[in-house]
Amino acid sequence: MGGAGQAGPALLQRGKMKTMLKPRQMIFLVAVLLLLFLVALPLSLLFFKSFVRDGVLTMANYVEVFSEPKNYAPLWNTVKLGLWTVLLATALGLPLGWLVARTDLPGRRWLETLCLLPYMLPPFIGAIAWTQLLAPRVGYLNKLWTMITGLRSSLFNIYSFEGIVWVLGMYTFPFVFLTVRGALERMNPSLEEVARISGAGKLRVLKDITIPLVMPSILAGMILSFLYSISNFGVPALIGMRARVFVITTQIFRYIYQRADFSGIRLATALSVLLVGVAGLVLALNRWVLSRQHGAAIISGKSVRPTIVELGRWRHPIAVGVHLLMAFLVLAPLVSVLLSSFLKAWGLPIRWENLTFRNYAYILFDYDLTKRAILNSLLLAVSAATVTTLVGGILAYITTKTRIKGRQALDFLSTLPHSIPGTVVALAMILAWSGQFKINLYNTFWIILVAYITRYLFYSFRNISAALVQIHPSLEEAARISGAGWLQNFRDIVVPLIKPGLIAGWLLVFMPTLRELTVSILLYGPKTPTISVAVFELQDAGYYHIAAALSVIIVAVLLVCNYVARKLIGLGVRA
């Protein structure tokens, strides 16, 4: 009887556990279906359509892509662009990472801020900024050059392949800087100390010990730089298309917009799959590099302070030189945009009589395109950030706090759209939601919103996952023992504890979607331009001073949001 009496409560407890798990399983099922709808279906359809012509499975689309000589240049330019951008980014990011992390250079925090500023801003605004400086004959630096030298030729023509490399290098070196700085700050200095005790000088220690140990991190930053540059659309479009220099992303754009029939979409899908293939190989290489980094064991389990290299008498001259260089590379383009935004007309000398606030009043109150674009972007950014925060929070909880089978699939599907170029995501949305399944969202607000949610879900998911990992399981256990169900536990315990992470995750989606260009340029319709599309159109039409004013507004909003996000992330870590 005693055994039966004990069995009864045990069976009852198991019944309660099953009842408690049902909401989790239902939410998990809904999450899987949602990700299949948002991610798997469009991308699978893109891949499938690249092999279809006239309803028949065939390689004809790929044959046509490779049979057209005009496609060879974009393919080769994409590879060259990635390689040259990586070299430039590494040449800047590697020494700057070392100076900030391992030397006694004065003003290292200010230098770090300068290095991270390009990471916060969209590269297409960087393209506009450098155009203000280096446009032939009218760029500020080129005009200064001709005035000083008396020559008619410009110092540098930004409208060239080299110009694309330059701008992308300025906006991808933070990838190398961040990976190198992080590795150097966490590195166990014992091997360096042994080398110095053995009589090795500073340069030899750097060459033979430090650089080989952090080489996996250097390679990881270089790979990220390569991947970012080959998938970028804004810089090659604003600088390269004017010079008739095309890459795969701009060639996809041309196929979609320059061919009125479906043949352009077919060939664009083939090019997109090729671009995804290149990106996939690069990501596989990155994963291999990270695995090699793990094997290098440069981070010890103990708290260590990296050895600081004393620069001696060169300390202040190097600091002055580096700060001046970074101020020129990072701040000068932004100042040029700010100055141009006040000009009455592009190309006028910067004098008081040529300056006006009219450009800002025009884009905010008078010009229908920019007014509609600002409203659309705000609605899209707020909607996408809110939806991704809600969905990302649930997905993050399932993957980090439960043991439901198949939860790794949620991680993969959430990450996949962020790992492939934005032009590919946009094209997948066109194929999936333009009537293919009796749902036609093309040229509407909703197709852009779905694309934003799909592409930027990764940001919320990863940020909230990091916040959830910091919650000790004992807190949830205490709530369950007190009789709280899973939903009540999530609402009353988990959400309040990760609130800073939720707000920061919301801002981390709001910022990129507010200034998103690559996806928007392929999906916007007559009534749904976004603020980045408006900047692109104004710049492309030659209204440089109006585009500059709108760019200044975007930069100001992004810097404020970034400051708030960093404060909230810091608050979440301290909590």
Model confidence pLDDT, tens digit, residues 330-361: 999 999 999 999 999 888 888 899 999 999 99
Please count the other Cβ atoms lying within 10 Å of the Cβ belonging to residue 526.
7
DSSP code, position 39: I
Q: Is the pLDDT reported for residue 201 higher than 80?
A: no
Query: Hey, what amino acid is at 424?
Result: V
DSSP code, position 524: -
Q: What pLDDT, on the 0 to 100 scale, is given for residue 479? A: 67
The helix (run of H) or strand (run of E) holding residue 294 is: helix 263-296
> What pLDDT band is residue 30 in, cutting at 50, 70 and 90?
confident
Q: What pLDDT, on the 0 to 100 scale, is given for residue 260? A: 60
CA dist 216 and 17 (Å) reads 46
Q: What pLDDT, on the 0 to 100 scale, is given for residue 293? A: 54
Q: Confirm if 562 and 511 have CB atoms less than 8 A apart.
A: yes
Q: Is the pLDDT reported for residue 564 higher than 50?
A: yes
The top-scoring range by mean pLDDT among 33-42, 163-172, 217-226 is: 163-172
Q: Confirm if 447 and 433 have CB atoms less than 8 A apart.
A: yes
Sign of CA dihedral 110, 547, 521, 235: negative
Q: What is Dmax (Cα atoms) for the chain?
A: 107
Query: Hey, what amino acid is at 269?
Result: T
Cα–Cα nearest to 356, from 538, 548, 533: 548
Please tell me whether residue 434 adopts helix, strand or coil conformation: strand
Query: Hey, what amino acid is at 108?
Result: R
Buried/exposed code over 414-445 (b: 16+ C-beta within 10 A; e: otherwise): bebbbbbbbbbbbbbbbbbbeeeeeeebeebb
Torsion (CA) 426, 427, 433, 435 in degrees, nearest 10: 150
Select 72-327's CATH number: 1.10.150.120, 3.40.50.2300, 3.30.300.10, 1.10.3720.10.
Answer: 1.10.3720.10
Q: Is the pLDDT reported for residue 199 higher than 60?
A: yes
Q: What pLDDT, on the 0 to 100 scale, is given for residue 467? A: 78
Structure tokens, 344 = 């009455």
Query: Hey, what amino acid is at 514?
Result: L
Mean pLDDT to the nearest integer, 14-22: 49
> What pLDDT band is residue 25 in, cutting at 50, 70 and 90?
confident
The helix (run of H) or strand (run of E) holding residue 52 is: strand 52-53
Mean pLDDT to the nearest integer, 426-455: 92
Q: Is the pLDDT reported for residue 574 higher than 50?
A: no
Q: Where are the beta strands (DSSP E) in 98-226?
A: none
Q: What pLDDT, on the 0 to 100 scale, is given for residue 450? A: 96
Sign of CA dihedral 559, 564, 569, 574: positive
Q: What does pTM read for this prediction?
A: 0.86
Query: Hey, what amino acid is at 370?
Result: T
Cα–Cα nearest to 161, from 242, 66, 223: 242
Torsion (CA) 449, 452, 455, 460 in degrees, nearest 10: -110
Q: What pLDDT, on the 0 to 100 scale, is given for residue 572? A: 46
Write down the mean pLDDT value for the chain: 85
Cα–Cα nearest to 191, from 211, 217, 210, 214: 210
Please tell me whether residue 440 adopts helix, strand or coil conformation: strand
Look at 53-67, 106-120, 488-502, 553-567 and tell me which has the smallest mean pLDDT. 488-502
Q: What pLDDT, on the 0 to 100 scale, is given for residue 19? A: 47
Q: Confirm if 399 and 468 have CB atoms less than 8 A apart.
A: no
Which are the contacts of 53, defined by CB distance < 8 A and separation ≥ 6?
60, 61, 266
Mean pLDDT to the nearest integer, 30-55: 90
Specify which residues 309 forms β-bridges with.
103
Q: Confirm if 513 and 384 have CB atoms less than 8 A apart.
A: yes
Which are the contacts of 156, defined by CB distance < 8 A and separation ≥ 6?
134, 141, 142, 162, 163
Look at 78-82, 292-296, 324-328, 391-395 and tell me which has the smallest mean pLDDT. 292-296
Mean pLDDT to the nearest integer, 132-151: 88
Q: Confirm if 27 and 390 have CB atoms less than 8 A apart.
A: no
Q: Is the pLDDT reported for residue 493 higher than 80?
A: no
Structure tokens, 372 = 């509609």
CA-based end-to-end distance of the chain: 51
> What pLDDT band is residue 303 in, cutting at 50, 70 and 90?
low
Please count the other Cβ atoms lying within 10 Å of the Cβ belonging to residue 103.
16
Please count the helices (runs of H) and the strands (runs of E) in the chain.
Answer: 28, 2
> What pLDDT band is residue 517 in, cutting at 50, 70 and 90?
very high
Any alpha helices (H) in 36-122, and if so which ranges? 41-49, 60-67, 72-102, 108-120
> What pLDDT band is residue 17 in, cutting at 50, 70 and 90?
very low
What crossing angle do the helices spanning 248-258 and 211-231 adopt, rounded to 10°?
10
CA dist 275 and 75 (Å) reads 9
Mean pLDDT to the nearest integer, 365-386: 95
CA dist 209 and 204 (Å) reads 8
Percent of the chain with pLDDT over 90: 45
Which are the contacts of 572, defined by CB distance < 8 A and separation ≥ 6?
467, 470, 498, 500, 501, 504
CA dist 299 and 190 (Å) reads 11
What radius of gyration, in Å, describes the C-alpha atoms of the chain? 26
The helix (run of H) or strand (run of E) holding residue 56 is: strand 56-57
CA dist 522 and 272 (Å) reads 13
Q: Confirm if 398 and 404 have CB atoms less than 8 A apart.
A: yes
467-471-476 Cα angle (round to 5): 135
> What pLDDT band is residue 81 in, cutting at 50, 70 and 90?
very high
Task: Determine phi and psi for 421, rounding to 5 degrees.
Answer: -60, 150
Residue given tokens 């009043």 in the structure block: 361
Mean pLDDT to the nearest integer, 56-85: 91
